[in-house]
Structure 1
Amino acid sequence: MKKIINLITLLIISIPTLLGANTVREKDIITGRFKETDIKSSLLSNQQWVPYPAYTDRAGWQKLTAPFYDNIIAQGEKYLDYQWQVVKATDYLAYERNGSRVIMEKPMNENAVALSNLFFAELAEGKGRFLDQIINGVWYFSEMSTWSLSAHVPAYQSTKRSLPQTGTHVVDLMAGDMGSFLSWIHYFFQAEMDKVNPEIAARLKDNIQARVIDPYMTRTDMWWQAFELTPKQIVNNWNPWCNFNVLTSILLIEDNPEQKIAGIYKTMRSVDKYINYMKADGACDEGPSYWGHAAAKLYDYLEILALATGNKVNLFDQPMIKDMGEYISQSYIGGDNWVVNFADASAKYSGEPLLIYRYGTAVKSTEMQSFAKYLWDAKSTKLSFSRDAFRSLENLRTIHEIDGATAALPSNPYKWYPETEFLYIREKGFFLGAKGGFNNESHNHNDLGNFILYLDEQPVFIDAGVGTYNKKTFSPQRYDIWTMQSAYHNVPQINGIDQEDGGQFRTKNTKFDAKKGVFQTDIAGAYPKEAQVNSWIRTYTAKNRSLQITDQFEINNPSKPNVITFMLAEEPRLENGKILLNNNKHTMTYDSKTFDASVEVLNQDDNRLSSVWGEKIYRLRLTAKATPSKGKYSFTIK
């Protein structure tokens, strides 16, 4: 913490009480700078903006793919005899029958993987060997009732059922992905498909128009567009992700000049809604594993917009865009790709180094470039391809640029996000993440006051994350799932009551004293009135690789004992007033006269959780022996 003392002159940074945790600030940094007339005057015609060789430019593709040619061809050859899978009616119905999304998503995703490998193999080889299977894939997707996922279609259908409804198309994440990907297939292979039969490319183009472009142009009620935003509504990664896909389809497919200009500008107005909603500090409240489709999809969107306008519409000089990028490097802990994982994010994230490098280059962030090189050097598989054709093509185009970077992790001793109320403190072998905020963030967990602690780049106190998505995950029953509940986070149960979800449940008086290494927040507002808590001030003090946690509280008429919960990666050993952690490497002390300690084993039978934590994690509960109306608890971790 000496570095903190030496580097910081501002002693206390606090949250202005007039700025709500989810305040929407109308900035309109895109349409505030660029009007529809700017698009009309700067848009490059006839796809001149596309920075990749034409399919017939064999020398261009040979040069672009040379280092990876054999692998690209080998991956494509795996699918020369691929049997395209039918997504059955019962696969869609499974979502409403038993809550499963995977049954429908698995065959569709596998078809998309097959098509993407065939696509890149044909671009690389250029002999037509993969073309028939590409046509089969194009024909298959053109014959589908919808490109949307079973979990997403009910919201936009009058039936409110998961079986696709005739005549209704909406843009969700999958429909957008397929529209964008298939637009690139049409761009590169239209002439080749026409040689086989003009119906193929014509049908493909009509489907992209009908399934992606037309719904976007005629509707304003798709929630992620944020045109009909309600005060309680969240704008999250869907917005830049879907808008990027729509923009790609418009740029590559739409022939009507006026419609093209109008469509491009509509995406700009929609993406402004996302930027307006995001915190100015740049933090991604959805966590690092969503950053790739949140801030990084915003980067993709802005990059393709700049390309299409000859770099006339360029937003990469905006400080907020840079801060949103650097969130991913700041949130990296180390070790086995551990990251800060509040909300639904996974605690492991290996990143996309070339994407991070390109983003860093665009916003002039040496930190991001060095972080990207750090990840790149650790990767055994340097390049892979997916249905996100733009990123895959950009990886091919820019792969050699990363070689000139110097690998390094951020070295700043702390990172404080004052609006989002995230704090990271790092010393050698010590990483603390703590949060305030409110309980209606994107992918929210009821976790105000929560913390994670990694020592020697290994998890000690953890946030479990989220299991495999199912029907409950994004429904009114979301908080029936244990991973969402405050009882399974490193926060107290007050007077027998857990935290509650909703934008009204939030912290107050959150502040960080950088000189002392002290983070403090009153989490009483995270609990419903039944808890009868006037104040519960949680304080984290980090110093010399140790952490002290104090809870000072005031409760009206307490009737049930407070319980302080700690989620642990490894099984602890209990001693009187002492908890031995991570095979006795670390110790937490507490007042045994005040608390009874108990440990619960949580078996992880969900693959999404067990792949991170193994078969078990542990919940330590310190249950108060008395029910005072005022008091102070203290815990020290060394």
Structure 2
Amino acid sequence: MDKTTLLAIISGMEPADLRLYYPDGDQEGFWRKVRESPLYAEEVAEIRAEGERLRTQPVPELTYALFSIFGRTGSRLEYERVYFERRRMLNTYVFLALLEPAEAEPVERLQEILWAICNEYTWCLPAHLGESGIAGTIDLFSAETGFALSEIHCLLGERLPPLLRLRIRQEVGKRLFEPYLTGGPYFWETAEHNWSAVCAGSIGCAALLLASEPSQLADILLKVERSLGYYLKGFGEDGACLEGLGYWNYGFGYFVYYADLADKRSRGRISWFREEKVRNIAKFQQTCFLGGELVANFSDSQPVGQVYLGLSHYVAARFPEVEAPPVSLRAAYTEDHCSRWAPALRNLLWKDTKQAHTEWAMDSYYLPDAQWLLSRCRQGNSTFGFAAKGGHNDEPHNHNDLGQFIIAADGNAYVSDLGSGEYTAGYFGAMRYSYDCNGSQGHSVPIIDGQFQTAGPEAYAVVLEASAGKEKDVLQLDLTQAYRYSGLERFTRSFEWHKEGPVSLTLSDEFSFKEAPGKLVERIVTLCPAVPGEGMVVLKGPDGRDLQIIYDEGLLQPEISEHTFSDHYGAKKTWYGVDFQARACAESVRYTFEFQFSLS
């Protein structure tokens, strides 16, 4: 699309007003319904509870001492806790103002937090500022902030004082529009992951709401549309989000928020929803839940996930093959520790109160581009989950995890993926793979003569067989390239997930070496206490259900080790390595494990 075409579209655009959010423009009627209907009672109660918590608290200061911590120590949490608390205040006071239009207090408090955010030294996080400092820098959170203020400007309108509305327009122009058009290029403009969708999508939304000059709007949308093309390029045709469910919510969410506003304002002439790949990405969420809140949390993903009902219901309405999620998985208002405005608003605006699903469909999926196999199956009153992956070790938010797998029952992981650790400077630096959650030492994959998997695109899996069937699912991988052990000639890993009869997994690893290695360890990672038994190791799960790992005592000897890591929120967590050590290494060997559930 060129500028001339865009200018023609812009000339016929719908106004940037409340009709973009409410079919008839009746904002007061919508919020009256939310306030009075029992179908929104939980959401309203959560918002009101936050309002009470914040009521006596002043706007917290973003001090120099906080700002400088990352540069001095690499720690992000101290500054970000305060930054995100300010965004929680912003969101809460807007919602209270919309829910209670006759009340003066929420608007008065909103004015103070809006002014404070406009006064911030930068809307960026310190961790995202480069050597050049803040001038012209646009990161995820500065773009999100500009989008949020633009939307609040539209929704609150004349309920905000003229000076504050002017300040919002000036700050968004100065911090987003001007550097976007005259600075850069920013790395995220061509990024094939969530940054391009969040940054470009947020700027595009802000421009659709605030940019009054057609030429400026056209210039911004040209760049935004190009970046969103790069975002989609990061997906295979299977629609898998290699960064996991959390980043699907995040990146694809902001893609949809922009696509929706662009579609509405342009009267359908700018529409990403006609893209087949977008349809496939929209289906990803329903594939990755393994029972309850547990998800296939490969890469920097959390082990449990909630759904954004607004986003979920929107894409389910757009695409018939997309499943609406179980309502029990609804993300609470306080669930997002970053307090992002855009999804919080749409969780109310886009909620389909007629949807009342209680469980995902039981199904298995093979995603060929990602090389992921995912399964949910039910026996009796229990739901069992399995996930395994190939791929390569240069994926977005990469972990060295070729051949990694997860086994779950009733929403509890027995063989686990540690998922995302605490984000620090080192976590994204040269020491990344020294962190257990990132390096292969913290995954259920072999350790060959003390060597872990290597990082980079040259470390990849080759799929030899993959099928998702009624009775069993199969994934067989050649993982020879995952290691740089000179004596390794071939390593294949096979999974057979049995869904008929007792649910179980058969794992087979076959090695060929030029000469026998000095040591070979088959590691299984778990958060469950592990107890050795005769011919088995038992992973002790909750509710009396255990997982037995049955092995050949003549070939392998188990050793159980205890480790700790800092999770995404900085909390110390314990994990166990069940290391099956080869009793006598050989040039060619095959190890087979049976994973079987039992009740103790």
**TM-score normalised to the size of structure 1?**
0.84
CA contact (8 A) 1:82 1:114 kept: no
Q: Deviations over 1:57-101 (max 9, x none)?
A: 645643454336974566446545431222112212111211111
Aligned partner of 2:349: which letter?
R
Alignment of 1:170-181 (within 5 A): 170-181=137-148
**Is residue 362 of structure 1 aligned with residue 318 of structure 2?**
yes
Number of positions where the alignment pairs a residue of Structure 1 with one of Structure 2: 577
**Is residue 475 of structure 1 aligned with residue 429 of structure 2?**
yes
Going from structure 1 to structure 2, the CA distance change for 1:384 and 1:623 (only over 3 Å counts) comes to closer
| Secondary structure of 1:402 counterpart | coil
- 1:629 — aligned with what? 587
How many angstroms does 1:468 deviate by?
A: 1.8
Alignment of 1:485-496 (within 5 A): 485-496=439-450
- 1:303 — aligned with what? 260
- 2:548 — aligned with what? 587
Greater Cα shift, 386-395 or 253-262: 386-395
- 1:562 — aligned with what? 520
| Secondary structure of 1:538 counterpart | strand
Aligned partner of 2:372: which letter?
F
How many angstroms does 1:621 deviate by?
A: 0.5
- 2:277 — aligned with what? 320
Distance 2:51 2:422 in 1: 30
Gaps in structure 2 of 5+ consecutive residues: none
**Is residue 201 of structure 1 aligned with residue 162 of structure 2?**
no
- 1:402 — aligned with what? 353
**Is residue 598 of structure 1 aligned with residue 559 of structure 2?**
yes
CA contact (8 A) 1:39 1:265 kept: no
How many angstroms does 1:526 deviate by?
A: 1.1
Q: Deviations over 1:368-414 (max 9, x none)?
A: 22x244535xx787999995444333333333x332454431222x2
CA contact (8 A) 1:357 1:402 kept: no
CA contact (8 A) 1:296 1:359 kept: no
Selected match of 2:92 from 113, 117, 121:
117
**TM-score normalised to the size of structure 2?**
0.89
**Is residue 102 of structure 1 aligned with residue 77 of structure 2?**
yes
| Secondary structure of 2:272 counterpart | coil
**Is residue 503 of structure 1 aligned with residue 460 of structure 2?**
no
- 1:231 — aligned with what? none
Q: Report the structure, 1 or 2, having the larger strand content.
A: 2
CA contact (8 A) 2:440 2:453 kept: yes
- 1:424 — aligned with what? 374
Distance 1:323 1:491 in 2: 30
Gaps in structure 1 of 5+ consecutive residues: 1-30, 159-163, 227-233
Q: Deviations over 1:436-484 (max 9, x none)?
A: 0000111111000111111344311111112221111222221121211
CA contact (8 A) 2:487 2:513 kept: yes
How many angstroms does 1:43 deviate by?
A: 2.4
Cα RMSD of the aligned pairs, angstroms, is: 2.9
Selected match of 2:187 from 223, 232, 244:
223
Distance 2:335 2:529 in 1: 38
CA contact (8 A) 2:422 2:567 kept: yes
Greater Cα shift, 89-98 or 47-56: 47-56
CA contact (8 A) 1:49 1:307 kept: no
Specify which structure has the bigger relative contact order, considering alpha-carbon pairs within 8 angstroms and separated by 6 or more residues.
Answer: 1
Distance 1:242 1:264 in 2: 13
- 1:333 — aligned with what? 290
CA contact (8 A) 2:202 2:254 kept: no
Distance 2:140 2:215 in 1: 26
Alignment of 1:136-151 (within 5 A): 136-151=112-127
- Between the aligned residues of both structures, percent identity stands at 23
Going from structure 1 to structure 2, the CA distance change for 1:573 and 1:470 (only over 3 Å counts) comes to same
CA contact (8 A) 1:505 1:526 kept: yes
Aligned partner of 1:504: which letter?
E
Going from structure 1 to structure 2, the CA distance change for 1:442 and 1:140 (only over 3 Å counts) comes to same
Runs of 4+ aligned residues of structure 1 deviating over 6 Å after TM superposition are 53-57, 379-386
How many angstroms does 1:56 deviate by?
A: 10
How many angstroms does 1:524 deviate by?
A: 1.1
